[in-house]
Structure 1
Amino acid sequence: MNIDTRIKYRHLVCFLEMARQGSLARAADVLAVSQPAMSKTLKELEELLTVSLFVRSKSGVTLTEAGVAFLRYATPSVQALREGVNALRGGEYVGGTVRLGVLSTVESLLIPELVQRLHARHSSLVVSVVTGPSAYLLSQLRVGDVDLVVGRMTDSPEIQGMNFEHLYSESMTLVVRADHPLIRGPLDRSQLENYPLVLPLANTTIRTFADSLFVQCGISQSRQRLETLSITLSRRYVLRNDAVWIAPLDAVRLDLASGELQEIDLGQREPGGSIGICSNAHVPMSVAAQGCVEVLRELGQAYGEGIYP
């Protein structure tokens, strides 16, 4: 059956934005159109497809089963068209853009090395990086706003229905500044709760592993805490005072090597979560994204063998 020529690009854009925002009003604001115009466009699309794409309620809109199915095809279609137009306008017919969702666990060491290797191999490649918690990044992956999500995310409910590929395992560790009182003599674990604690945000995958380490070691968490996913903020805060940071090992590996931070030896480490690549099973992967996956696999193999940049 031929595609109905009455289905226009504007229909798809409006549909995707409403799916992304979960609200007609917010989608209309993003697209700079009136709400009546937005509603009319979506009504036209539903009539042309002869299905309801959204369930409307006072709290917003959610995709119907038909809407979820249509999203799988509308997303790569619009994405491919945008990439083609951008490539022609830029005069670059090879290269393209790869859009990465990056969790804090990998942004300090893995991703800079990834970008360096990609740019060494491709003269016209744009690497666009978005950071944030796993739930947010996986939601962006679901609607096609990023091509891949990289990091520790296997415990996130939003990963259901996605493809996950393991790269390597990474443990958590406790670190402090080089002249911290805790490293001046034999470690008394009970003293840890007397110092401010820096740890990941609650309800994130990495926080689960952080909490697990404390439980395994029988340590009570300090009541004075800084909760953040920002590696930059965590590092700066710990270097300026007596705080204890429970950090992904990759995030502090270079600081440990330089001596700026010192690891508190608990006699054990949390055994390690899976760092990997998540992709949308329903969206065809672009050539640029495929090239990115190849380099990530190379780095994952090196990390698994204990070889770091």
Structure 2
Amino acid sequence: MNIDTRIKFRHLVCFLEMARQGSLARAADVLAVSQPAMSKTLKELEELLAASLFMRSKSGVNLTEAGVAFLRYAGPSVQALRDGVNTLRGGEYAAGKVRLGVLSTVESLLVPEVVRRLHERHSALVVSVVTGPSAYLLSQLRVGDVDLVVGRMADSPEIQGLTFEHLYSESMTLVVRPDHPLLAEPLERNALEDFPLVLPLAGTTIRKFADSLFVQCGISQSRQRLETLSVTLSRRYVLSSEAIWIAPLDAVRLDLASGELVEINLGQREPGGSVGISSNASLPLSLASQWCVEVLREVGQAYREGVYP
């Protein structure tokens, strides 16, 4: 079946923005068009495709099954065209750009090393990094706004329909400042309940592993909590308070080595989640993205073998 030549770039852009915003009004604002014009464009697309793409309600719009299927191809196609146009503008044919979605679990050690090695080998490479929760980053991957997502993803429901490649496993650990009261005497696990707790955001993949560690150790979580994905905020708060941080090992590995943070030894660690690369199989990887995947595999192997960090 040939592509209907009546389907225009504007149809795809409107469809993608509606899917991204979940609201006709917000999508119209982003694209600087009127709501009637937006509605007309989407109606045209649905008629051309002979399919309903959105379910409309008072709270907004959601993709239909047909809309989800079309999204897998519309997003990457539009992004590929944009990349081609941007490459030709300015004559930067040799320059490359890779857009990474990065979870907080890997932004402290893995990604800086990957970027260092990439820049060491490619003189005209731009690495654009977006951070956030897994659900948000995977939604960006689906519509082609990022090329790859790196972090703990294997257990995320949003990974369905995408490709995941395992790099290494990473455990969780409990850390405190060096002069924390818990370190002054033999540890009683129940005492942990008396101190503020720093946890990943509820509903995130990494939070499931954090909760699992407490269950395995038979410890109730403190009612006083800070929930955040920010490594910087977590570290600063723990260093300035009596809080206990349940952290991915990558985030605190250097702090433990320098003595700035100290691990609370519970006699066991949560066995580890799978850290890896998520990609959109419906979009061929750009050369820059392929370079990035190669280096991610290289550094991932160094992790597994204990060579890095």
> TM-score normalised by the shorter chain: which range applies?
over 0.9
Indicate the SS of the match to 1:140. Answer: helix
SS in 2 for 1:272: strand
Residue 129 of structure 1 aligns to a residue in which SS? strand
Aligned twin of 2:148: 148
The CA distance in 2 between the partners of 1:74 and 1:190, in whole Å, is 53
Residue aligned with 2:130, SS? strand
Deviation at 1:199, TM superposition (A): 1.1
Q: 1:11: how far off?
A: 1.4
Query: Aligned with 2:98: secondary structure?
Result: strand
Q: Which amino acid aligns with 2:235?
A: R
Match of 1:115 in 2: 115
Pairwise CA distance, 1:277: 0.8
1:80 is matched with: 80
Aligned to 1:25: 25
Aligned mates of 1:33, 1:182 — CA distance in 2? 59
CA contact 2:100–2:147 (8 Å) conserved in 1:
yes
Structure 1: gaps of 5 or more residues: none
Is 1:159 aligned to residue 187 of structure 2?
Answer: no
- 2:62 corresponds to which residue? 62
Instruction: Return the letter of the residue paired with 2:200.
Output: P
The equivalent residue for 1:129 is 129
User: Are 1:97 and 1:126, in contact at CA under 8 Å, matched by a contact in 2?
Assistant: yes
Residues 134-165 of structure 1 deviation map (CA, whole Å, 9 limit, x = unaligned): 11111111122111111112222111111111
Deviation at 1:2, TM superposition (A): 4.5
Q: Which amino acid aligns with 2:30?
A: V
- Determine the C-alpha separation between the residues in 2 that align with 1:292 and 1:95: 14
Q: What SS does the aligned partner of 1:219 have?
A: coil
Secondary structure, in 3 states, of the residue corresponding to 1:278?
A: strand
State the secondary structure of the residue aligned to 1:144.
coil
Given that 2:28 and 2:34 are in contact with CA atoms closer than 8 Å, whether structure 1 keeps it comes out as yes
Structure 2 CA distance for aligned equivalents of residues 15 and 292 of structure 1: 30
Q: RMSD of the alignment, in Å?
A: 1.5
Counterpart CA distance in 2 for 1:72 and 1:205 is 23
Higher mean alpha-carbon deviation, 167-176 vs 124-133, is at 124-133
State the percentage of identical aligned residues.
Answer: 84
The worse-fitting range, judged by mean Cα deviation, of 110-119 and 81-90 is 81-90
Deviation for aligned residue 1:278: 0.9
Distance, in Å, in 2 between the alignment partners of 1:38 and 1:214 is 49
How far the C-alpha of 1:132 sits from its partner, in A, is 1.1
Worse-superposed segment, 296-305 or 10-19: 10-19
Moved over 6 A (4+): none
Cα distance in 1 for partners of 2:175, 2:50 equals: 59
Aligned residues between the structures: 309
**Amino acid in the other structure paired with 1:102:** V
1:279 corresponding residue in structure 2: 279
Question: What code does the residue aligned with 1:39 have?
Answer: S
Contact 1:178 1:259 in 2 (8 A): yes
CA distance in 2, matches of 1:258, 1:52: 58
Q: Indicate conservation of the 8 Å contact 2:18/2:27, yes or no.
A: yes
Partners of 1:190 and 1:4 lie apart in 2 by: 66
Using the TM superposition, give the Cα deviation of residue 195 of structure 1 relative to its aligned residue in structure 2, in angstroms: 1.2
Equivalents in 2 of 1:175, 1:303: separation in Å?
A: 21
CA–CA distance in structure 2, aligned partners of residues 74 and 204 of structure 1: 27
C-alpha distance after superposition, 1:153-209 (max 9, x if no partner): 222211111111110000001111111121223222222111111111111111111
Q: Which moved more, 1:130-139 or 1:104-113?
A: 130-139
Structure 2 vs 1, CA of residues 93 and 266 (structure 1 numbering), >3 Å: closer, same or farther? same
Query: What's the TM-score, normalizing by structure 2?
Result: 0.95
DSSP 3-state at the match of 1:216: helix
TM-score (norm 1): 0.95
- Quote the Cα distance in structure 2 between the aligned partners of 1:63 and 1:180: 50
**Does the CA-based 8 Å contact 2:75-2:142 persist in structure 1?**
no
1:283-298 alignment, distance < 5 Å: 283-298=283-298
Per mean C-alpha deviation after superposition, the further-off stretch among 82-91 and 253-262 is: 82-91
Query: What is the CA–CA distance in structure 1 between the aligned matches of 2:246 and 2:65, rounded to whole Å?
Result: 42
- Supply the distance in 2 between the matched residues of 1:216 and 1:68 (Cα, whole angstroms): 38
